[in-house]
Amino acid sequence: MNETSVGNLDQDTLKDLILEFMANHSLCVIATASHDLKPESAIVGFTHTERLELIIGTSNKSRKYANLVQNPHVAIVVGDESGEIQYEGNVEILPDGDYKDMVEKAHIEKLPGAAEYREDPNQVYIKVHPTWIRFLKHGVSGGLQEYTEISV
């Protein structure tokens, strides 16, 4: 596929398209690096914020959590046959408290199966702040666009 842009979309329009794509998807692949710098990936459920941040729940006993404590840089892909978002960012582990409760509620609304982890003392939430995003519509001539004006 040719890597050309999706017309001349301004960054606000592109951001809206990315937000819509995220809203219509609930799973992504997250890639982290182990302590010996070997790649590890997993399919996880996610929610997002209007600032294009991703929220992911995981266990503090998981490989990805151990990797992220050591190295907060991730690569993520959200996609299907219609298109994809390639996403790179930095992770913030969310502290317990009111903010975590708010995040957990929104997460469970989008991902009802996540409710079973609500009482798990090992459950943690991470927020991924974007540093680079590429949006690609599959099957569309000139369907590639990078979102470069990322405000965090």
**CB-based contact 133:146 (threshold 8 Å):** yes
Q: What gap in Å lies between CA 25 and CA 50, rounded to an integer?
A: 15
Per-residue pLDDT of 67-81, as tens digits, reads 999 999 999 999 999
Question: Could you give phi then psi for residue 110, rounded to 5 degrees?
Answer: -80, -35
CA–CA gap between residue 71 and residue 109 (Å, rounded): 29
Amino acid at 50: E
Rounded to whole angstroms, the Cα distance separating 1 from 128 reads 29
In this predicted model, what pLDDT tens digit does every residue of 108-151 receive, in sequence order? 889 888 888 888 899 999 999 999 998 888 876 666 666 555 54
Domains of the chain, each with CATH number or no CATH: 11-147 (2.30.110.10)
pTM listed for this prediction: 0.85
Q: What's the alpha-carbon Rg for the chain, to the nearest Å?
A: 16
